[in-house]
Amino acid sequence: MQDSGPPGLELHTTCIKRLLMRSTATTIADMPHVAVLPGPSSWYKDYPIAEGARQSPINIAPEEAVYDHGLPPISLHYDNCTSTNISNNGHSVVVEFDDVDDRSVIQGGPLENAYRLKQFHFHWGGKGCHGSEHTVAGKTYTSELHLVHWNAAKYSSFAEAAVAPDGLAVLGVFLEVRDERGGLNKITDSLYMVKFKGTVTDFRDFNPNCLLPSSLKYWTYPGSLTTPPLYESVTWIVLTEPICVSEKQMGKFRTLLFNSEEEEQRTRMENNFRPPQPLKGRTVRASFK
Ligand SMILES: [Zn+2]
């Protein structure tokens, strides 16, 4: 690190160094069973689709997004939501839901059917670094929440849906450091129980409604999982309005470890995001003018 230079640049360099240091670490599993993998820049070696036509995340350029007046509002029915457990899968912290029926679904917007909520998880950076996957006009956010849903009207299992072009719908919500978000406390207060990779504990009666902003205005585009196997099966719905989170709450996410309890190495779970991928001619549609 140089002694001089603008502090912003220094911070940026630190974040990049942290990313480069993460030789064996990886970003989050949108697929829960993925083992330890090399970093995003070498994923293409094992997963050629990493260079495919509809990879995620992307940088969203608001002025290039096309307003589509035919896009209905999205509607979220999480009222009778049944969360089951919270776990550390070695890539992120994941809250899973009972998805045997249509009790918790997203519908409307670009979706032809109701899609069932399967799980949600987060991506975040190191302290003072940004950690969202999608960016907006080049701006990154502190963290990004992904609510993962699958098309149970058309496919018989999550695994089957995960490989189909219209199989998954992921709702992305940005987190911005400001005040504490009360709804996040139940999650951040449970993280000490899932510090190590492979740990899981009961997590009942959590309704993700408390993690949503007041506006459901969104951008939508066809994309992929952001971790291997990077299947191009996701209809992305990214909300424009971020929710807030406190620095203290973000600090609790960074107490998680990429490692299991048996491993000698202890690497803090942070910077578990994939950088934006080429748009390759895709259109981002906006639900608003
Ligand atoms: Zn994700």
Q: 59 forms bridges with which residues in the sheet?
A: 135
| 101 within a domain of the structure (yes/no) | yes
Tell me, in angstroms, the distance from the centre of ligand 1 to residue 144's CA: 8
Residue written as tokens 């069973």?
33
Rounded Cα gap, residues 176 and 167, in angstroms: 29
Tell me, in angstroms, the distance from the centre of ligand 1 to residue 28's CA: 6
pLDDT of 79: 77
| 46 within a domain of the structure (yes/no) | yes
- Among 91, 121, 134, 146, the active-site one is 91
Tell me, in angstroms, the distance from the centre of ligand 1 to residue 93's CA: 10
| 99 within a domain of the structure (yes/no) | yes
Rounded Cα gap, residues 209 and 79, in angstroms: 8
pLDDT of 182: 85
**Count: domains in the chain:** 1
- The residue segments making up the domain with residue 162 are 7-286
| 2 within a domain of the structure (yes/no) | no
pLDDT of 181: 83
Tell me, in angstroms, the distance from the centre of ligand 1 to residue 6's CA: 32
| 156 within a domain of the structure (yes/no) | yes
244 in Cβ contact with 252 (< 8 Å) = no
Tell me, in angstroms, the distance from the centre of ligand 1 to residue 287's CA: 22
| 199 within a domain of the structure (yes/no) | yes
Q: What is the pLDDT along the chain (289 residues), one digit of tens a residue?
A: 333 334 444 444 444 444 444 333 333 344 433 344 468 999 999 999 999 999 999 999 999 999 999 999 999 999 777 899 999 999 999 999 999 999 999 999 999 999 999 999 999 999 888 999 999 999 999 999 999 999 999 999 999 999 999 999 999 999 999 988 889 999 999 999 999 999 999 999 999 999 999 999 999 999 999 999 999 999 999 999 999 999 999 999 999 999 999 999 999 999 999 999 999 999 999 999 9
Tell me, in angstroms, the distance from the centre of ligand 1 to residue 3's CA: 36
| 209 within a domain of the structure (yes/no) | yes
Tell me, in angstroms, the distance from the centre of ligand 1 to residue 171's CA: 10
Buried b (16+ CB within 10 A) or exposed e, 72-86: eebebebeebbbbeb
Residue type at 35 in one-letter notation: A
56 in Cβ contact with 234 (< 8 Å) = yes
Residue 157 in tokens: 């299992």
Tell me, in angstroms, the distance from the centre of ligand 1 to residue 122's CA: 6
| 1 within a domain of the structure (yes/no) | no
Residue type at 16 in one-letter notation: I
Residue 52 in tokens: 């495919």
Residue 229 in tokens: 């196997």
116 in Cβ contact with 233 (< 8 Å) = no
77 is catalytic: no
For the chain, the farthest-separated pair of C-alpha atoms sits apart, in whole angstroms, at 59
pLDDT of 4: 38
The structure's pTM equals 0.88
pLDDT of 38: 67
3-state secondary structure of 49: helix
Cβ-Cβ contacts under 8 Å for 170 (sequence gap 6 or more):
30, 146, 147, 148, 149, 234, 235, 236, 237
Q: Which of 246, 261, 145 is nearest to 195 (CA)?
A: 261
Output the domain CATH number for residue 169. 3.10.200.10
